[in-house]
Structure 1
Amino acid sequence: MPGVIASDDAGRKRKRDSAQGKSKETKSRKAPKTTNDDDAQSRILLLEEQILQSRENYNNIVELQKIAGQADKKPKTATIAAVALCRVFCRLISGESLVKQAGATEADLQIVQWLKARLADYVGHLTSWIGSPDATKESTALTLLMRIVKEEALNNNKADRAWRHEKSAFVAVVRRLLEETDAEGARQEFIDKFVEEHDDVRFYTFAAVKQILQDVHAGQEEVATNAIDLLVQIEGVPESEDELEDWYGSTPEGQKNQLLSLNAHRKIARQAWLSIFRSKLSQESRKKMLNVATAHILPWFASHIELLTDFLTDSFNHGGAMSLLALSGIFTLMTQKNIDYPDFYTKLYSLLDEDLLHSKHRSRFFRMFETFMTSSHLPAAMVASFIKRLARLSLQAPPGAIVWIVPWTYNMLKSHPPCTFMLHRTYHPAHSIYAEHPKYEDEGMDDPFDMKQKDPMVTGAIDSSLWELETLQSHYHPNVATLAKIMGEQFTKKDYQLEDFLDHTYQTLIDAELGKEVKKPPVVEWEIPKMIVTTEDGGLNVIGQFLQTAIDTM
């Protein structure tokens, strides 16, 4: 019979079977570690819950405010505490715990005053976060503050007071946005999320701006600059009362409520802008307003155009590029709002000087200038003055400016045929010019154009000629010389597209010349001399003799 095979397990220690009443040995689990942040969050939530449970725990508000005040050391914990406090104050406001009740005891009144003081501290602390380099922290503060604003507006019998009161959360927010220069992101978010979405927020933003700028202590240039930065971002301008329907606070009731009146919205916006106009403004701030005057400011001045005109006129008197921007706004009022401004072209004429054609804003000026001069009903004497003045200035202008002036002159002569006499005036003895200068062919005549005259109607340009453009036909730059020759040819072309000539500079003209393919190399017809002052025989040549004579006479 086969032998018995011994098992290898015979010499091993066998594990006990679970059937013998003992379970298998298992590895013990450790409890998860709790972090300090988790402990702090749990503590914050507990403090919040206790406050809402009983008035006896109101002192927890102070403790939460201390935690929220440690934003630099513990930003996450501070944010959690700030959010908890927002919930606490919103519950207290909605429960009218911050309102003096009729028949309240002295102790109750003291509690109300104490809670108001804590709310003011909380709002002040959050507003200090606006302008922080941490965008998340800044956005959180704005969101929490506007949540407080909403509760104040919803739970106040006098909703207007909740928005306008100097110590209200809303005024505190707007004040901080105006006083903090580094709050561009917060201002943008405030406009996008609240002002553009809610008609009442927009209304009371204008009211707050007016209120803050009228404050004696806030009349600073930085505050006005930030106010401009805030208001120019408002694009939603209501055109009818039917569009006034989105509210952040309580829905206004009653036909006489100012929030339901389009005229009231326009009036408060005008007052805010007028407060800015009267403030101390930097040059850059004025330019920024002038750039957006027609798009963002004009709609609010629909029935009081003269107020905006005064600002534009005052801005023109500052001179330089600001004068051009101001004239652009005035021109819009003339063409769209039918405002009477008889000195417009006189002021435009005064802007044409030597510095303009060398300015970096030359292209921008030419674009606007072309628009101003498009009317075919302008007097010929005035048009002739503009043409003649630019022609005179072109004698000292860079090529980049001349290549625009010549085609513009061509277009203007096509639009105003009486001015073509400046190119060619057939002799007629009865004409005053020839009558006063009977020997003009032998003696010539003085140019009747008066460059110093400020009134374009009496410069005498219509009796002059465009000899300056003929002079340009000999300009050193071949492109300018070729372009100037169109004035001596028949005017068969309808007009020139001036946009094609606006952006030329020295660099673009040089690049165009260097980029041309030379089909035939130029012929050099001079010989390089081997000697400069001597002949090949060793004696002095003509130049050498002149030098020798000069040396001997010294």
Structure 2
Amino acid sequence: MPVRSLPPPTKRRKTTVESVSIKSLEAQLTSAVTDNGTLNPLADLLMLAHGTSDAREMSKAVYSIYRVFVLIISRGMLVHGGDDAAKQVRKWIWEKLDSYVELLVGLLQDEEPALRKSSLEILFSLLKHLSTSLTKSAPTPQPQFHLSHFKHIVHGILLCPPSPRSKGSSKHDSKTKLDVRENFVEVWFSVYDDIRWCFLREATTVLSKYSSTEYPQLLDNLLSIMEKLSTFPTDQSELSAWWVEELGAKPPKHKTAKGDTEEEDDPEPVDENDEDDWRKFFDEDSNVKDTKKPSIKARAHTLTFHQSLHSLQAHRAVFTRSWLNFLPHLSSVSTSSNRALTTRALNIMHRGVLPHLTRPVLVMDWISACVDLGETVGLLALNALFTLMRDYNLDYPSFFTRLYAFLHRDVLHLKHRARFFRLTELFLSSTHLPATLLASFVKRLSRLSLNAPPAAIIMIIPFTYNILKRHPALMVMIHRTEDNTGTDTDPFIAEEPNPNSTNALDSSLWELHSHIHHYDSAVSTMARIFAEAFTKPGYSMEDFLDHTYGTLIETEVRRKIKKEPALAMTLRKDLFPMSDVVNADDSVSGRDVVSEFWVFG
């Protein structure tokens, strides 16, 4: 068999492509699109982009391909129609576009920040061009959103495929790059209503389709975006920003089951023959009168895509569904990372999630399960639970019993004790709470203060003072004068888990009184406030929550000495009694008692 004198076809093709510059390939494609010529150089340009490892060359290739595809899209070459040859060409162009989008999605995880930023901007620019082209070619005059392209963007942000320039890496286990996430949130997610609505819907699909064990950073990536959302609309008039400008047009009025056009001010239609739909579960109660600006009032599951984008109810529905699908993933596996994610989710639950849910009580079961985890997670869950009780009429009779269970020794020694006192003051702020319940809390804290660090005692004393001032019925606990009050005769039942059955109101706060002899002057001074008249206004707890050993020592060091302490100026030789006589040379002849004090065992 004769030896081949030419390289294999693939290698020969690659050598030819490398000899052609990116600029010349772009010029050929530009003239080909204008003159309906061949688009084969597009494959060569994509090959150059996929094969280069230099960031500068990659950037040139990416922008060249982008300009070519914008020209192709604007000339309607991706619009349906034509003969079989046109369909084959269109199919081939779509394959190249998918390859280009795959390249851009991978570059979102590239090491070069400029490539990451430009790739994200190009992806969203293509989304706008593709959606506009889809709108122009639609058989009905309705604005369109190119969902298939947007899915690639969402997958790139949440699943994080590796960069094509990182050779040998094929795992999707990376976190979204910080600059990519911040750029996406600040420029698109928090600004444009259509991007936010579509992202929340697609994120729900991603959660149900991809496992968090196969993609360990999926939950973290999604929460990092959702917790940054601070511009969720609360009024119909706030739905006014659109990335795809055609979607800003007012949608047609919703039609009822009878075929009549529904006016905006008409009551909501009822369709008795409508099939069951998951979106019905997230619809708001139609009996609640909305005094705000009228919007499309039909059920969210009966609206078209365009109508949903202009319906505040539909935005709340997709927001609710995304959170209800996300939260169970945090509790499915009890790991340290999931526990940290749970803490982050609970941190924003009361202010960033519950107000925007269609029915906030839907998350009650998950929040109640988090309470059982205890520590910081349980405390934050109690905060969310308290919000449900106060603002959304949730009936949870055992709330204060669960809160009372958090009063154990560790809560005064852990780093989150300041958060505990801040939230506990909020929970016990009502003047309608029974005195028996409040007495159990102040007595329990008083008992725990006996072995608490000084910084924790400084929090307990003003906390107790505020409760006593707010509830005069508890003043009897500091005015009892029995001398036999102590741990042996105290009627308080420390082991009782029910705060209504501890007999705390029959006891006294002798533990706090004992702190007037505390070694720390700040604690002893604070403890004396219970012996004075309760004429002072309540203390601001924020002034006492940041104390630590460091701040206490710093305060003592900076304290000015007004009176010099008494010092012994002469050495007394008979300070320690000796068994033998001291010689004239001040040397001990016999047993040294002082040295024996330091012999252990």
- TM-score for both structures, normalised by structure 2: 0.76
CA distance in 1, matches of 2:59, 2:218: 28
Q: Contact 2:468–2:474 (CA<8 Å) still a contact in 1?
A: yes
State the alpha-carbon separation in 1 of the partners of residues 413 and 320 from structure 2.
38
Q: Pairwise mapping of residues 16-165 of structure 1 onto structure 2 (< 5 A)?
A: 40=21, 42-73=23-54, 75-101=55-81, 104-105=83-84, 107-156=85-134, 157=138, 162-164=145-147
Q: Aligned partners of 1:341 and 1:203: how far apart in 2?
A: 33
Correspondence for 2:352: 296
Asked whether the equivalents of residues 51 and 88 of structure 1 are also in contact (C-alpha less than 8 Å), the reply is: no
- Alpha carbons 1:399, 1:480 under 8 Å: kept: yes
In the alignment, the residues of structure 2 paired with residue 379 and residue 419 of structure 1 have an alpha-carbon distance, to the nearest angstrom, of: 10
Code of the aligned partner of 1:387: V
The match for 1:343 among 391, 394, 398 is: 398
Whether the 8 Å CA contact 2:330–2:342 is kept in 1: the answer is no
Instruction: Deviation per CA, 1:78-113: give whole Å up to 9, x if none.
Output: 3232222223223333444234416x22x3322222
Does residue 1:207 correspond to 2:201, yes or no? yes
1:470 aligns with 2:516: no
Range that drifts further, 536-545 or 306-315: 536-545
Task: Provide closer, same or farther for how the CA distance between residues 211 and 218 of structure 1 changes in structure 2, counting only shifts above 3 A.
Answer: farther
Aligned residues: 494
1:196 to 178, 190, 202: 190
2:164 alignment partner in structure 1 = none
CA shift for structure 1 position 535 = 2.7
Instruction: Name which of structure 1's ranges 219-228 and 459-468 shifts more when overlaid on structure 2.
Output: 219-228
Cα distance change on mapping 1:271 and 1:66 into 2, 3 Å? same
Aligned-partner SS, 1:279: helix
Structure 1 match to 2:221: 226
Q: Which structure has the greater CA radius of gyration?
A: 1
For the 8 Å contact 1:221–1:279, the answer to whether it is kept is no
CA contact (8 A) 1:212 1:218 kept: no
The Cα offsets for residues 103-145 of structure 1, whole Å up to 9 and x where unpaired, read as x22x332222211111110100011110223221111101111
Tell me the C-alpha RMSD between the 2 structures. Answer: 3.0
Out of 520-529 and 365-374, give the one that drifted further: 520-529
Aligned counterpart in structure 2 of residue 388 of structure 1, from 419, 443, 453: 443
State the alpha-carbon separation in 2 of the partners of residues 382 and 89 from structure 1. 70
Q: CA offsets, 1:43-81, max 9 Å, x none?
A: 1431331331345421111111122224522x3333232
Matched residue type, 1:108: A
CA separation in 1, counterparts of 2:534 and 2:98?
A: 76
- Alignment-derived partner of residue 7 in structure 1: none
Distance, in Å, in 2 between the alignment partners of 1:218 and 1:442 is 57
- The answer on whether the counterparts of 2:404 and 2:497 sit within 8 Å (CA) in structure 1 is yes
Question: Which one of 493, 497, 501 corresponds to residue 544 of structure 2?
Answer: 501
* Cα shift readout 1:434-473 (whole Å, capped 9, x = no counterpart): xxxxxx9699962221112111111111111111112222
For structure 1, the residue ranges without an aligned partner over 5 or more in a row are: 1-36, 428-439
The one-letter code of the counterpart of 2:514 is T
Per-residue Cα deviation, 1:302-335 (whole angstroms, up to 9, x for no partner) = x311123333222222211111111222222333
Give 1:227's aligned amino acid. Answer: L
**Structure 1 residues 535, 512: closer, same or farther in 2, change over 3 A?**
farther
Residues 160 and 345 (structure 1), Cα distance of their counterparts in 2 relative to 1, 3 Å cut: farther
SS of the residue corresponding to residue 500 of structure 2 reads: coil
Distance in 1 (CA, whole Å) between partners of 2:196 and 2:469 is 50
Distance, in Å, in 1 between the alignment partners of 2:488 and 2:190 is 66
Q: Which runs of 5+ in 2 are unaligned?
A: 1-17, 161-174, 255-306, 332-337
Per the TM alignment, residue 206 of structure 1 is displaced from its structure 2 partner at its CA by 0.5
In structure 2, what residue type is equivalent to 1:175? H
CA contact (8 A) 1:206 1:268 kept: yes
Asked if 1 retains the 8 angstrom alpha-carbon contact of 2:26 and 2:68, the reply is no
CA distance in structure 2 between the partners assigned to 1:443 and 1:207 by the alignment: 62
* TM-fit CA distance, 1:523: 1.8
Say whether the 8 Å CA contact 1:48–1:84 is kept in structure 2: no
Alpha-carbon distance, 1:505 to partner:
1.6
Q: Distance in 2 between matches of 1:61 and 1:441?
A: 95
- The C-alpha deviation readout for 1:466-505, integer Å capped at 9, x for no partner, is 1111222222222212221222233232322332222222
Q: 1:255 aligns with which of 253, 256, 264?
A: 253
Which stretch of the first structure deviates more once superposed, 43-52 or 358-367? 43-52
CA contact (8 A) 1:51 1:61 kept: no
Residues of 2 paired with 1:414 and 1:328: CA distance? 24
Q: How does 1:387-406 map to 2 (within 5 A)?
A: 387-406=442-461
Offset of residue 171 of structure 1? 0.7
User: What letter corresponds to residue 59 of structure 1 in structure 2?
Assistant: N
Question: % of aligned pairs identical?
Answer: 31
- SS of structure 2 residue aligned to 1:278: helix
Preserved contact between residue 408 and residue 498 of structure 1 (Cα < 8 Å): yes
Query: Contact 2:25–2:41 (CA<8 Å) still a contact in 1?
Result: no
For 1:150-189, what aligned pairs fall within 5 Å after superposition? Answer: 150-156=128-134, 157=138, 162-164=145-147, 168-180=148-160, 181-189=175-183
The answer for the alignment partner of 1:379 in structure 2 is 434
Q: Residues 357, 60 of structure 1: CA spacing in aligned structure 2 closer, same or farther, 3 A cutoff?
A: same
What residue identity is the alignment partner of 1:352?
L
Task: State how far apart, in whole Å, the 2-side matches of 1:67 and 1:134 are.
Answer: 18
Question: 2:218 is aligned with what amino acid?
Answer: V
Distance across 2 between alignment mates of 1:258 and 1:381: 52
User: Cα gap change, 1:234/1:478 in structure 2, threshold over 3 Å: closer, same or farther?
Assistant: closer
Name 1:283's counterpart in structure 2: 339
Cα-to-partner distance string for 1:227-265 (whole Å, 9 max, x where unaligned):
011112222211222322322223253234211211111
For residues 540 and 94 of structure 1, do their structure 2 counterparts lie closer, same or farther at Cα, with a shift above 3 Å needed?
A: closer
Distance (Å, rounded) in 1 between the aligned partners of 2:376 and 2:226: 23
CA contact (8 A) 1:48 1:85 kept: no
1:366 to 421, 445, 466: 421
| Deviates most, 522-531 or 46-55 | 522-531
User: CA 1:298/1:442 → structure 2, altered by over 3 Å: closer, same or farther?
Assistant: closer
Q: Indicate conservation of the 8 Å contact 2:350/2:383, yes or no.
A: no
Q: Distance in 1 between matches of 2:488 and 2:34?
A: 102
What letter matches 1:319 in structure 2?
G
Give 1:406 deviation, angstroms. Answer: 1.2
Q: Shift of residue 507 of structure 1?
A: 1.9
Pick one of 578, 583, 601 that aligns with 1:537: 583
Q: Name the stretch that deviates more: 246-255 or 116-125.
A: 246-255
Alpha carbons of structure 1 residues 547 and 247: separation in structure 2 relative to 1, 3 Å: closer
Work out whether residues 493 and 502 of structure 2, in 8 Å CA contact, stay in contact via their aligned partners in 1.
yes
2:107 is paired with a residue of what secondary structure? coil
Q: What's the secondary structure of 1:214's corresponding residue? A: helix
> Aligned equivalents of 2:594 and 2:51: distance in 1?
90
